[in-house]
Structure formats: structure tokens, C-alpha cells
Amino acid sequence: MDDLVTAALTAAKERGRDVADVPLTAIASAAGISRSTLLRRLGGSRAPLDEAVRRTGVDPGGRPPVRERAIEAAGRLVAERGLAGVTLDAVADRAGCSLPSLHTVFEGRDGLIAAVFLQYGPLPDLEALAADPPVGLEATVRALHRTFAAALVRDPRVVPAMFADLFGRPDGPASRILETHLPRMLDGISRLLLPHIEAGRLRPLPLPVLTQLMFGPLINHLVLRPALEPLLGSDLPSVEETVELFADAFLRAVALPAAESGEDDTP
């Protein structure tokens, strides 16, 4: 079987496809045998070949790639158990892949958790927003609040679990992810807010402080909201209303009056 596995991997690499998507004729050719001989050695089905390939640590394919399955599985586990409860063994079991595959794709647990954050966190949407910024300070602030709120309420609730880990274990994996991705996040926020600071529409506070003023109350509320909803019921505004209220409060706190800034509200 080892020679057939080698032939299958070679044929897959040459075609840039998963093993499961490579025709048996091509695998037989790479092995130097006929298709009928290959089928006879496999017992009439390619399933034993796919299983042998999987035992080498390579996913034969025929379903979503290991990366996609692992990120989805890990995201669900993070939301259910928190970061501390997520192991590569648990992810491999839920994703239906091997441990060697996870190590190959993500280079370890931290790499997997970082990929989960990129998938479910605010960074991709923030960078897209910075690449095509809204017109005006108010629209920019509201768009930023909605972007971060979307990440905080997104299912699975990965971002709240990240904050819980960050507050509980300052030297844990969430801290390492923050260390890696915070510069990109601050760069995106800076590209959106700095033009308004330079134009005198926004108080010239240090960017980290400005960022905390903007997102601190929002994060606190949305992380606690699942616990508050059963207690407060209809007294609690909807998520959409709450996001707008926090955006209004931020603008009242740090936006400069038009007369003081001497500018209209355009970029």
C-alpha cells in the first residue's frame, strides 16, 4: 500500500488537487500499473487508499479543506469551552482530521487560535472599512461601532471568549494574538480617525485612549449582554439601538463643535 500512497500523493501534487479528486487512472499511471490492477489491490474501492493517505497525516480531500473544517470546529469549541478548554485533539476529533494535519496547516495551537480570530474577529471588516472609509465623522464612528459589534455578537461567540481569556490570563493565548494583531487594528482605526483629528473635528487624544473610549463601553456591554438579557428583558434596548447609543455617546464626548473646529463634517 505504501507505493500506492506515494503514487496518489505524487499525482495529486502534479495536478494541484486533493487525492480524492485525482482519477484512479492517474494514480495507477503514477504507480506504473493498470487501473484494473489498482482496483484489485484496493479491493474494488478507493476508500482503503484514502484511509491510508489519511494515516500519513494528509487529508485526502473530497470535503472542505482541513483548514476550513478546523477553524469552524475550533471556533465552536472556543465559544463552548473558552480558549483554555480547546485542545488540538478536540479540534481534530470534531473536524474529522488528524493531528499531523493540524500541525502542518497551523504550526501548532497558537496558529490555529490566531486563524480562528481572523475568521471571526473584526480585523478583516475593519481593514475593508479603512480601505473605503465613510464620508464624515459621524458616519465613520457609527460604521466602526457596527463593525466591532458585529464581531462581538457573531456566532460562534469567539471574540467574547477571547476577551474573557485576556482578562483572566494576561499571558495566555489571547494576549499573544492581541500582541500580533493589535498593530494592524490600530493602523485601520488610525486611517479612519486621523483625518478627522487633523481637520479638528475630533479631540487629539492618544490613539489607544481614543480607541478605548470608543470600544470599551461597547465591548463591556456586549460581552455581558447574554447574562443581562434574562434579568432585564424588555428594559434592555436591542443590540442595534445600543450600538447607536454608544456611538452617540462617543461623539458627544470627543467630537469638537463645528464652531471650535472651524470645519464642516467632511473628510
Digit-coded pLDDT (tens) for 216-256: 999 999 999 999 889 888 889 999 999 999 999 999 999 99
**CATH number of the domain located at residue range(s) 121-261 in this protein:** 1.10.357.10
Domain boundaries, the chain: 2-55, 66-107, 121-261
- How far is the C-alpha of 47 from the C-alpha of 45, rounded, in Å? 5
What is the chain's mean pLDDT, rounded? 88
Q: Which amino acid is at 190?
A: S
Tell me the torsion sign for CA atoms 203, 205, 207, 211. negative
Q: Which of 40-49, 54-63, 137-146, 207-216 has the lowest mean pLDDT?
A: 54-63
Question: With pLDDT > 70 as the criterion, what percentage of the chain qualifies?
Answer: 95
- Name the band, by pLDDT with cuts 50, 70 and 90, for residue 63: low
C-alpha cell at 141: 464612528
Contact 204, 260 (CB under 8 A): no
- How far is the C-alpha of 73 from the C-alpha of 67, rounded, in Å? 10
- How far is the C-alpha of 32 from the C-alpha of 22, rounded, in Å? 16
Compute CA 125 distance to the chain's CA centroid, rounded to the nearest angstrom. Answer: 11
Q: Which of 214, 191, 75 is nearest to 128 (CA)?
A: 191
Most confident listed range (21-35, 118-132, 228-242) = 118-132
Helix runs in 132-238, H state only: 137-153, 158-168, 173-198, 207-232
Number of CB atoms found within 10 A of residue 163's CB: 16
**pLDDT number for residue 241:** 95
Radius of gyration (C-alpha) of the chain in whole angstroms? 25
Contact 158, 120 (CB under 8 A): yes
Q: Which CATH architecture has domain 66-107?
A: Orthogonal Bundle (1.10)
